[in-house]
Structure 1
C-alpha cells in the first residue's frame, strides 16, 4: 500500500520514512510533502492509499486537509501525527483511522498500519467519506497512549478532585474535562444525579440504597453505587417512571 508523509518538519518526515522502511511490505513510501495544498495535489492523482498527516502545517492545517480528502474518489485513509495530545478529539471527529503522538515509536506506527491493513479498501473509503458529525467518543491518555472510548460504553462520569472518572465497560480512566462540559456535549444521553455525577441513561434501570441508606442509581452491568442528591432525586424518579422502570428504593 502506498503512503504519503505530510509534515512541514524535514526531520519528522525523515524519521517516519525510516520507520516505514524498517516495517517494509506491504507498505511503501510513495511521496513526502511539506504543506496542506501539496497533500491535496498529490492525493488527487488517485494512487495514495494512506496519508500520515501532521495536524499543524502551513497553507492548510491537517484538519482542513482531511476534510477535503474525504471528497476524493477514492479517498485515502488518514492517520494523524502531532506533538499535541489535546488535538486527539479533533482527529477522531475528522474520522481519522488513528492518531500518533510524536515522537512516534515504531511499535505504535506498526499498530496503526496493522489496523489499516485489516480493513478492506472499500471499508477504508467508507471510513473517510463519512460526513462531519459530533463525535460519539472520548479520548483519554492511558499509560502514555491515547485510548478512544465509545460513549455507548460509558456507564457514568464522576468528578474526583481535579479530574473526572470515566467508568466504562472495559474499566476506568481519568479525564481533564469538567462535568459541565461533558453534560453540554452529551446532553440528552446522560442525566445529572448529583453535583459530581452524570449517568448514561442507557444503563439507568432503577434505584437502590447504599449501606448508609442513601438513594443510589442502579446501573445495568455496573456494580457501582452512585449517590443521588436529594435535590435531583425527584427528577431521577420521574425519568424512571416515564419509562416504566422500578423506582422503589425503600
Structure 2
C-alpha cells in the first residue's frame, strides 16, 4: 500500500539542491505518493510558507544563511500542527552522528532516490523530534526567539530584544516597539545568550548594548538600590544588590 499523499515543503538556500529534491520526489511518487506544495530559500521564508500552507513533512537543509535548519526545526516544533522533519546535510559528520543517536532522520547530499523514499516512509510512523534533542544539536545561539500569538508563530530577532523579564510561567521579551510572551526559561536564555545579555536581577536580563546608564532607585527598596536605563524604552530595570557588584564593572565602562 502506497498510503496517502504526503505534502512536502523543500527548504534549501541553493536552487539546484531544491530542484534535485523536487525531481527525486517526482521519481518516487509511485512508491511514496507526495506533492511539493512549497519551497523556501531560508528558515524565515519557511516559517511564512508554513503559516500559509501547513505540510506533512519538511525537507530542511542544515547550513543556511539567516537561520540554519536546526533552529528552524526548533521554531516549527511550536506550531499547532508541526510537520515531520527530515534534515539534509552535505558533510556534517557531527550532525549525522547526533541524528543517528537520537533517531532523527537525515539525508546526506547528494540525495539518492531510495534513501529519500525510505525517509518519507519513516515519516508516516515517526514522532516529533523533542525540543531537548534539537537544543542539543544547535551549534551556537539562535538568531530568533518565537512565540504564539492569535494562532500565528511570530519570530523575534534576538538583536531587537532590549530585555527579558520573567513573570510567573512566562518570560516577556521587550523590543523598542512591543512586548512578546515566550514559553521559555530565563535561566536557559541566559546560558544561551550570555554574550548578549547581562543579568540585572533574578527576574531580569538586559541586552548589554541597550543599557545607557544607571541611577539610584528613589523608592525605598532593600533589594534594588540601582536601576538600569535603556535606550528606546521608558522602563527602568531593577538591579539587585546581589548582582550590582557584577554589573558595576559594566557601569564603569559606560561612564568612561
Name the CA distance, whole Å, in 1 between partners of 2:26 and 2:166.
Answer: 45
- Please list, as runs of the form range in 1=range in 2, the aligned pairs for 1:51-130 lying within 5 A after superposition: 57=57, 62-63=59-60, 66-67=61-62, 89-91=71-73, 102=81
CA drift at 1:91: 3.5
The structure 1 residue matched to 2:243, chosen from 204, 209, 232, is: 232
Query: SS state of the match for residue 228, structure 2?
Result: strand
CA gap of 1:215–1:102, structure 2 versus 1, over 3 A, is: same
Query: SS state of the match for residue 238, structure 1?
Result: helix
Query: SS state of the match for residue 90, structure 1?
Result: helix
- Please list, as runs of the form range in 1=range in 2, the aligned pairs for 1:22-41 lying within 5 A after superposition: 41=24
The structure 2 residue matched to 1:186, chosen from 187, 193, 204, is: 193
What's the TM-score once normalised by structure 1's chain length?
A: 0.52
Partner of 1:26: none
Greater RCO (Cα-Cα under 8 Å, separation 6 or more): 2
CA gap of 1:55–1:199, structure 2 versus 1, over 3 A, is: farther
Partner of 1:244: 255
- Please list, as runs of the form range in 1=range in 2, the aligned pairs for 1:143-182 lying within 5 A after superposition: 143-182=150-189
Name the CA distance, whole Å, in 1 between partners of 2:148 and 2:4.
Answer: 28
Partner of 1:25: none
Name the CA distance, whole Å, in 1 between partners of 2:3 and 2:243.
Answer: 53
Name the CA distance, whole Å, in 2 between partners of 1:133 and 1:9.
Answer: 39
Structure 2 gap ranges (5+): 10-19, 28-35, 41-48, 84-138
For each residue in 1:95-147, what CA deviation from the matched residue of structure 2 results, as whole angstroms up to 9, or x when unmatched?
x9xx976499xxxxxxxxxxxxxxxxxxxxxxxxxxx8642211111121111
CA gap of 1:207–1:146, structure 2 versus 1, over 3 A, is: same
CA drift at 1:169: 1.9
Q: How many residues align?
A: 162
Name the CA distance, whole Å, in 2 between partners of 1:188 and 1:103.
Answer: 31
Structure 1 gap ranges (5+): 1-7, 17-36, 71-79, 81-86, 105-131, 246-250
Query: SS state of the match for residue 146, structure 1?
Result: strand
| RMSD across aligned positions (CA) | 4.2
* Contact 2:7–2:56 under 8 Å retained in 1: no
CA drift at 1:200: 0.2
CA drift at 1:161: 0.5
* Contact 1:136–1:151 under 8 Å retained in 2: yes
CA drift at 1:180: 0.8
